[in-house]
Chains A and B, each alone.
Chain A
Amino acid sequence: MVPILKKERAASCSSLANSEKARQRLWEASMELLGPWLSK
């Protein structure tokens, strides 16, 4: 197990990268585009 210093955290990313809504929108949009191949 990699020891983690308590005061250190995972890297700060943009608010968009932390946005649950963005995550959901991307997932939905990508799944739609990939649909024909996902069903193969």
Chain B
Amino acid sequence: MKTLAITGPTSGIGKETVRALLPHFQRILLLARDEKKAQQLIGSFTLAEQEKLGFVACDLMRMDSVLAAADTLAQEIPHLDVLINNAGGIFDEKTITVDGFEQSLSVNHLGHMLLTLKLLPLLLRSQLKKVIQVASEAHKGASPRWDDLSYSKRNYKGFQAYANVKLYNILLAKSLVDQYGAQGLQAFSLHPGVVKTNFAAETKGIFKFFWKLAGPFMITAEQGAKTTVKLAKEKIPPAYNGAYFKKRARGLLFFPGE
């Protein structure tokens, strides 16, 4: 039985990823904070499709919730073929989580890293053994301080914090290959494109202005899900293990036929 788990499945790219991958997997576990939204998504499918789907509570802002989600998965499924670390967000204001982490770091990076490491036994028991990190071209604006991932020693800027965590998504995919590639683990990261979702709804200032300005040129969530979907369902040559993917751009990995 081919199984998949995805974070951030209830809206935007995540929702479209679930829709597109449903025919290709026998079991898809939706790791989400909001059960109502997850159940609404499940309810939007046919009864036969609904049987493939399951909700698992997972709040990436609380590491205990991430641990509980990993435990639930370990009880529900014998192996996990693909883990898609899709959830993400940009936050204008600096907020510290109950665990003492800056919110953007927790949601976009640490929560996913903990989840992935705790799910490794399940992943390594599967046939596909894939981890997919939804990153962004925004990583090119990163300016990390390795001794201050949570912004306790410098001023917080929402976009820079976002750029940093998107860099971490790419680095983590590569590190997972460094650490577990010999055991067959595959890990990839990708830029989905600039997608018209409510992703920047909570931002303000210059970022919100540019987001609005770019609106007419943005792609749909369905289009934005395509690279994730390809990476999840296709066999990727071993030479590309750890790679960062972007769709339809010069000099980048290209999936023929599109």
Report which A residues bind B (CB closer than 8 A): 1-5, 8-14, 16-17, 22-30, 33-34, 36-38, 40
Contact = CB atoms under 8 A, between A and B. Distances in A.
B243 A26 contact: no
Dominant secondary structure at the A interface:
helix
B252 interface: yes
Nearest to A15: B140
Given A23-B175, A27-B175, A14 B149 contact: no
A33 B101 contact: yes
A13 B243 CA distance: 9
Nearest to A1: B235
Contacts of B234: 1-2
A12 B252 contact: yes
B236 A30 contact: no
A2 B255 contact: yes
B66 A37 contact: yes
B200 interface: no
A2 B114 contact: no
